[in-house]
């Protein structure tokens, strides 16, 4: 069966106020040990994944490009040695525009990272400042140009909308700027306030306002229109791609294909079992260094959990769920209300429905 | 049996915090009722401790012995509830006494509750012994307060006793004044038995305990008794007195006060104010005067927050009713809140106590509808009694509606008189009279609709007088009023729990405030929700909760699907706790918050 491998790199130059990922600034001294630990963990895990064909590898974080090119190349080579990585596997690396230049990009491409996912977030200086991003819009353009120059043919831009200070007009400008760079893929995420982040605390204290969901809904609609006009297909709630450039790795999550997560806090899934590594990098290093398992927790999906997940994930992508899964009278109000449509025996959310997906999932999961 | 000439029965009338319990402690010490090593503060208040087998209820009457002039007196100190909700109970306790100590904090002055209970005592023909307490406090105004008190009871200021419950100063004098001034009870051992039940309680091991005052004849252990109002026969399993611990004695003679173990399991069979006599030929024919059935003044629907707790709520109410004769309830079905009970209470304090006990002692989570009074809807010769606003007929189908009116007594510093009058006027009050108790304190009487008092009146009174005013009220009667029923509709569906009966002039502001409140409380749904207030078919206020547009998790990062699923499960649980009104999901909290009456009830004592 086809599987994916996710590698987590928890290092960042600085922490952004909104981010609740397992990422740390100031732990750079751990880098060499961390790369070794990743390789050890991969070696330990490999035998159990002998029968899977790895069709995608994704280096995320954090900021993977904080690691040296040689380390990154060595890591990928190690994975290719230990696992059955398909020759045409999609290999993605996330990059912060400030941590890459032409020579680094060239080396990455040479090492086999053929898909580049760049955290642009916004092209509006005020919005970038509000998100506490250290780069400016120019460094995105520069990095993009460099990537094209050295030969990257599959680049994705990540955007975030709804930060304090952003208007629908400035979001439209950001979209135009992004489209002008002609990425193969665009991810556009509504800013979500997570309680355990500096942003979350500021919102709780009333120092900053939480994003207005109505404004974010409007921004989502603007994105749908702009990106469709530019030839991108909306294939998941927050993702658009030119035909053939859908992110195979992320589709694996949504299609409930198995994946192995390596690194601090990384999540894995196979055969209705989900498990995850310990989050703190030091703890992860200690575990792997002493030959112990890095797994910090796991869950077995009960049929009801699996059912809820399947509906949640299938509705996120345009695959939808078979009409036969749900009673017609449950579905009708949503079809009449324009949140769902029925095509070829499948129930698929409309764009309005995608915005209200939680409601849809809960209603359809029963 | 004690000779009546050596018995004195009295109570202490005092406002909360004016030092009644501390004075009682001094009296216990002075009369050696409690050995020094057993003495503790607020002894009588703390007697309701769990004990095996013995009577576990607070002593409502304690017997003290005191020698004066070589004669051993038996003094019965009878406790009275201090709160307006329990005026009838107070009157029965007073009927068990011949005298009352009117105790006033020398630093605080006379308060409305004291005054109300003083009037009850005077009307009951009790001899009043005025006394100041807390004279040891630096801020005590002994002279001024003595003058006010003397004027109130119509005596010379020199006759007002000065006491400190804290230091014990003046307590002996108080006791001797009680002996000298309070008359001995009358009554003869040869008359047929007549004993007044002035209180009752329920003991898990012994059944219902009646607190009695013998007026005529003799009450004997093992005596075969008849309760006249209840028309019940039973046997006196045990008679005794609190001294202050429960002490069995074989008989209680005329003038004596004590307890009676009935062995009955239902407190409703032992009615406060009822007269006990003997069975058979020796029975009395005339009951003692003053009995009446407890009558609920305030009604509210109680619903379990979890629908499945209906049975538990019914069991809990049944248990509470065992020792709360005033509590009445009947099943109620609300389209919005499901199955519950419409409960009648003596007043807001009583309602609070019951609700608190249901929640604390029985672990129930409850939604209570806003309290309402009992309306009389008159159509021709018929009178329909309405306990529930959603049962109020629509205008045009009846001749008139009557509502209960109370006579309110308010005492306020004269500086706040204007604010008090303004409040009473705004609550449809009608002034009866007003008099200066001193140059700085005013007593005002108003006729007010009870419905206006149960809606944040006391809070308003306190806030407008910086906490200085005090309030008491007693039922006055029913009076026709321009009352209308206001309904609240969600998405076109009336929500019975939100219906209310209000004065016509206040219907619009009431409807307005309800829809505005609900607009903040009802979460956005997948469609626009209209919130309307209506009188009959006329819409008087409207707000809209706009349909929600966005409810989606933006990102499933790095394959952490577990977290997303957990968030959805949380959301699902939240939905399960909502109640569905038509198509609209309404959270429990919205019901609780929209129905909350923003007030702590009238002072507790």
Q: What is the pLDDT of residues B554-597, one digit of tens each?
A: 776 668 899 889 999 999 888 887 888 888 999 888 888 888 75
Q: Do residue B565 and residue B579 come from a single domain?
A: yes
- Helix crossing, B504-521 with B588-595: angle to 10°? 150
- Structural domain that includes position B355: 298-369
Q: Do residue B157 and residue B24 come from a single domain?
A: yes
Q: Do residue B35 and residue B129 come from a single domain?
A: yes
Q: What is the pLDDT of residue A246?
A: 97
How far apart are alpha carbons B197 and B82 in whole angstroms?
18
CATH code, A233:
3.20.20.70
φ and ψ at B146, to 5 degrees? Answer: -65, -40
Alpha-carbon torsion, ordered A309, A314, A317, A323, to 10 deg: -150
Q: What is the pLDDT of residue B52?
A: 40
CB distance B555–A238 less than 8 Å? yes
How far apart are alpha carbons A49 and B87 in whole angstroms?
82
Q: What is the pLDDT of residue A228?
A: 97
Of B160, B181, B202, the domain-final residue: B181
Cα nearest neighbour of B576 on chain A = A362
Question: Which candidate in A312, A332, A340 is best for mutational testing of the B interface (most B CBs within 10 A)?
Answer: A312
Q: What is the pLDDT of residue B245?
A: 83
Of A254, A270, A290, the domain-final residue: A254
pLDDT in tens, A253-262: 999 999 999 9
- For A199-204, what is the mean pLDDT? 93
Q: Do residue B28 and residue B54 come from a single domain?
A: yes
Q: Do residue A93 and residue A221 come from a single domain?
A: yes
Q: Do residue B320 and residue B431 come from a single domain?
A: no
**Residue A152 resides in a domain:** yes
Question: Which candidate in B554, B563, B584 is best for mutational testing of the A interface (most A CBs within 10 A)?
Answer: B554
Q: What is the pLDDT of residue B469?
A: 85
Residue pair B364/B336 in contact by the 8 Å Cβ criterion? no
Of B236, B254, B282, the domain-final residue: B282
Q: Do residue B474 and residue B511 come from a single domain?
A: no
Q: How far apart are the first and last CA of chain A?
A: 31
Q: What is the pLDDT of residue B600?
A: 37
Cis peptide before A62 (omega within 30 of 0): yes
CATH code, B264:
2.40.30.10
Give this prediction's pTM: 0.72
Residues of A in contact with B552 (CB under 8 A): 190, 237, 354-358
Q: What is the pLDDT of residue B491?
A: 94
Q: Do residue A91 and residue A218 come from a single domain?
A: yes
Residue pair A258/A269 in contact by the 8 Å Cβ criterion? yes
How far apart are alpha carbons B14 and B132 in whole angstroms?
10
How far apart are alpha carbons A36 and A71 in whole angstroms?
9
What is the tally of structural domains in chain A?
A: 2
Residue pair B7/B597 in contact by the 8 Å Cβ criterion? no
Statement: residue A280 has pLDDT above 90: yes
- Helix crossing, B112-123 with B87-95: angle to 10°? 40
Of A223, A254, A285, the domain-final residue: A254
Low-confidence ranges of chain B (pLDDT < 70): 45-59, 82-85, 323, 556-558, 597-605
Check residue B313 and report its DSSP letter: H
**Residue B604 resides in a domain:** no
**Residue A123 resides in a domain:** yes
Burial call B107-126: b when 16+ CB within 10 Å, e when fewer: bbbbbbbbbbbbebbbebeb
| Size of the A and B interface in Cβ pairs below 8 Å | 95
How far apart are alpha carbons B357 and B369 in whole angstroms?
17
Burial (CB count within 10 angstroms: exposed 0-12, middle 13-18, buried 19+), residue B38: exposed
Cα nearest neighbour of B567 on chain A = A358
Q: Which of A77-86, A334-343, B114-123, B297-306 has the lowest mean pLDDT?
A: B114-123
- For A71-78, what is the mean pLDDT? 97
Q: Do residue A311 and residue A212 come from a single domain?
A: no
**Residue B187 resides in a domain:** no
Q: What is the pLDDT of residue A135?
A: 80
How far apart are alpha carbons A166 and B185 in whole angstroms?
86
- For A282-302, what is the mean pLDDT? 95
**Residue B601 resides in a domain:** no
> Residue B181 corresponds to which tokens in the numbers above?
């001034």
CB distance B550–A217 less than 8 Å? yes
Q: Do residue B172 and residue B59 come from a single domain?
A: yes
Q: How many CB atoms lie within 10 A of CB A15?
A: 15
Least Cα distance to A325 among A364, A272, A357 occurs for A364
Q: Cα distance from B448 to chain A (closest Cα, Å)?
A: 44
Helix count and strand count (H, E) for chain A: 14, 17
How far apart are alpha carbons B374 and B386 in whole angstroms?
6
Q: How many CB atoms lie within 10 A of CB A70?
A: 11
Q: What is the pLDDT of residue B463?
A: 86
Residue pair A8/A22 in contact by the 8 Å Cβ criterion? yes
Q: Do residue B385 and residue B359 come from a single domain?
A: no
Helix count and strand count (H, E) for chain B: 13, 34
CATH code, B310:
3.30.70.870
Q: What is the pLDDT of residue B480?
A: 94
Q: Do residue B134 and residue B166 come from a single domain?
A: yes
Cα nearest neighbour of B566 on chain A = A305
Q: Cα distance from A267 to chain B (closest Cα, Å)?
A: 6
Least Cα distance to B475 among B410, B407, B387, B373 occurs for B407
Cα nearest neighbour of A9 on chain B = B558
How far apart are alpha carbons B372 and B298 in whole angstroms?
6
Determine the 3-state secondary structure of B180 from DSSP: helix
How far apart are alpha carbons A183 and A240 in whole angstroms?
10
Q: How many residues does chain A have?
A: 366
Q: Do residue B534 and residue B433 come from a single domain?
A: no
Residues of A in contact with B548 (CB under 8 A): 213, 356
Q: How many CB atoms lie within 10 A of CB A64?
A: 27
Mean pLDDT of chain A: 94
Q: What is the pLDDT of residue B201?
A: 82
Q: Do residue A133 and residue A196 come from a single domain?
A: yes
**Residue B169 resides in a domain:** yes
What is the tally of structural domains in chain B?
A: 5
Chain B residues near any Cβ of chain A (below 8 Å): 526-527, 548-562, 564-565, 568-569, 571-572, 575
Nearest CB to B552: which of A267, A299, A355?
A: A355
Residue pair A123/A174 in contact by the 8 Å Cβ criterion? yes
Least Cα distance to B480 among B349, B332, B379 occurs for B379
Q: Do residue A203 and residue A57 come from a single domain?
A: yes
Check residue B83 and report its DSSP letter: S
pLDDT in tens, B32-68: 887 777 777 777 765 544 344 344 445 578 999 999 9
- Structural domain that includes position A311: 304-365
Determine the 3-state secondary structure of B501 from DSSP: strand
Q: Do residue B527 and residue B543 come from a single domain?
A: yes
Q: Do residue A236 and residue A125 come from a single domain?
A: yes
């Amino acid at each position: 069966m086809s599987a994916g491998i996710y590698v987590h790199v928890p290092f960042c130059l600085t922490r952004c106020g909104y981010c609740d990922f397992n990422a740390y600034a100031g732990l750079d001294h751990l880098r060499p040990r961390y790369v070794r630990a990743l390789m050890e963990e991969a070696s330990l895990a490999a035998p159990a994944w002998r029968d899977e064909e790895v069709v995608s590898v994704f280096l995320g974080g954090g900021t993977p490009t904080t690691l040296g090119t040689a380390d990154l190349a060595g890591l990928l080579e190690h994975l290719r040695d230990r696992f059955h990585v398909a020759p045409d596997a999609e290999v993605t690396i996330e990059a912060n525009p400030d941590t890459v230049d032409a020579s680094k990009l060239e080396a990455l491409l040479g090492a086999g990272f053929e898909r580049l996912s760049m955290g642009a977030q916004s092209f509006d200086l005020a919005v970038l400042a509000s998100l506490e991003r250290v780069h400016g819009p120019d460094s995105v353009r520069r990095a993009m140009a460099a990537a094209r120059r050295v030969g990257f043919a599959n680049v994705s831009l990540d955007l975030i909308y709804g930060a304090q200070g952003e208007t629908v007009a400035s979001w439209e400008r950001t979209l135009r700027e992004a489209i002008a760079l002609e990425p193969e893929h665009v991810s556009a995420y509504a800013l979500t306030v997570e309680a355990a982040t500096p942003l979350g605390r500021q919102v709780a204290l009333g120092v900053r306002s939480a994003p207005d969901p109505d404004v974010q809904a409007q921004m989502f609609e603007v994105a749908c229109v702009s990106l469709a006009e530019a030839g991108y297909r909306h294939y998941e709630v927050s993702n658009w791609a030119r035909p053939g450039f859908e992110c195979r790795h992320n589709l694996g999550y949504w299609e409930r294909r198995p994946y192995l997560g390596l690194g601090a806090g990384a999540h894995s899934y196979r055969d209705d079992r989900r498990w995850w590594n310990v989050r703190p990098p030091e703890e992860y290093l200690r575990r792997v260094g002493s030959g112990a398992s890095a797994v910090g927790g796991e869950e077995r999906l009960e049929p009801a959990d699996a059912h809820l997940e399947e509906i949640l994930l299938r509705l996120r992508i345009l695959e939808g769920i078979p009409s036969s899964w749900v009673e017609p009278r449950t579905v009708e109000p949503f079809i009449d209300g324009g949140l769902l449509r029925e095509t070829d025996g499948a129930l698929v959310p409309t764009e309005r429905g995608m915005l209200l997906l939680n409601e849809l999932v809960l209603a359809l999961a029963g | 049996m004690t000779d009546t000439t050596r018995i004195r029965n009295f109570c202490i009338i005092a406002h909360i915090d004016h030092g009644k319990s501390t004075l009682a402690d001094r009296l216990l010490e002075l009369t050696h009722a409690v050995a020094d090593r057993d003495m503790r503060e607020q002894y009588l208040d703390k007697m309701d401790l769990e004990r095996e087998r013995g009577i576990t209820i607070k002593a409502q009457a304690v017997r003290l012995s005191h020698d004066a002039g070589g004669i051993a007196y038996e003094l019965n100190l009878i406790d009275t509830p201090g709160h307006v909700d329990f005026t009838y109970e107070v009157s029965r306790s007073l009927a068990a006494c011949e005298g009352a100590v009117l105790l006033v904090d020398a630093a605080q002055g006379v308060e409305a509750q004291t005054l109300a209970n003083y009037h009850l005592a005077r009307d009951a023909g009790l001899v009043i012994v005025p006394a100041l307490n807390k004279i040891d406090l630096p801020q005590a105004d002994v002279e001024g307060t003595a003058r006010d008190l003397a004027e109130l009871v119509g005596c010379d200021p020199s006759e007002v006793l000065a006491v400190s419950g804290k230091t014990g100063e003046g307590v002996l004098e108080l006791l001797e004044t009680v002996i000298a001034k309070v008359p001995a009870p009358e009554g003869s051992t040869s008359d047929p038995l007549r004993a007044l039940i002035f209180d009752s309680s329920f003991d898990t091991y012994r059944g219902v305990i009646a607190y009695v005052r013998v007026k005529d004849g003799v009450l004997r252990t093992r005596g075969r008794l008849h309760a006249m109002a209840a028309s019940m026969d039973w046997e006196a399993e045990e008679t005794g007195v609190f001294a202050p611990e429960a002490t069995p004695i074989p008989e209680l003679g005329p003038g004596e006060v004590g307890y009676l173990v009935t062995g009955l399991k239902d407190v409703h069979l032992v009615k406060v104010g009822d007269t006990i006599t003997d069975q058979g030929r020796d029975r009395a024919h005339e009951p003692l005067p003053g009995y009446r059935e407890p009558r609920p003044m305030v009604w509210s629907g109680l619903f379990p927050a979890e629908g499945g707790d209906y049975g538990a709520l019914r069991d809990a109410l049944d248990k509470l009713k065992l020792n709360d004769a005033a509590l009445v309830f009947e099943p109620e079905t609300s389209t919005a809140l499901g199955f519950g009970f419409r409960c009648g209470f003596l007043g807001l304090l009583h309602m609070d106590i019951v609700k608190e006990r249901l929640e604390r002692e029985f672990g129930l989570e409850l939604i209570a509808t806003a309290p309402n009074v009992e309306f009389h809807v008159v159509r021709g010769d018929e009178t329909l009694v309405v306990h529930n606003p959603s049962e109020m007929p629509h205008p045009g189908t009846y001749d008139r509606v009557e509502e209960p009116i109370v006579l309110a007594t308010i005492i306020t510093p004269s500086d706040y008189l204007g604010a008090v009058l303004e409040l009473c006027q705004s609550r449809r009050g009608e002034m009866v009279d007003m008099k200066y108790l001193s140059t700085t304190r005013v007593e005002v009487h108003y006729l007010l609709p009870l419905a206006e008092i149960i809606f944040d009146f006391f809070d308003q009174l306190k806030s407008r007088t910086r906490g200085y005013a005090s309030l008491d009220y007693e039922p006055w009667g029913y009076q026709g009023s321009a009352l209308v029923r206001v309904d609240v509709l969600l998405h076109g569906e009336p929500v019975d729990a939100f219906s209310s009966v209000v004065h016509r002039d206040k219907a619009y502001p009431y409807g307005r405030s309800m829809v505005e409140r609900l607009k903040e409380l009802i979460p956005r749904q997948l469609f626009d929700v209209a919130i309307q207030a209506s009188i009959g078919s006329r819409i008087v206020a409207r707000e809209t909760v706009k349909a929600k547009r966005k409810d989606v998790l933006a990102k499933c990062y790095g394959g952490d699907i577990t977290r997303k699923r957990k968030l959805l499960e949380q959301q699902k649980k939240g939905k399960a706790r909502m109640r569905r009104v038509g198509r609209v999901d309404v959270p429990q909290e919205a019901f609780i918050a929209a129905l909350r009456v923003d007030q702590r009830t009238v002072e507790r004592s």
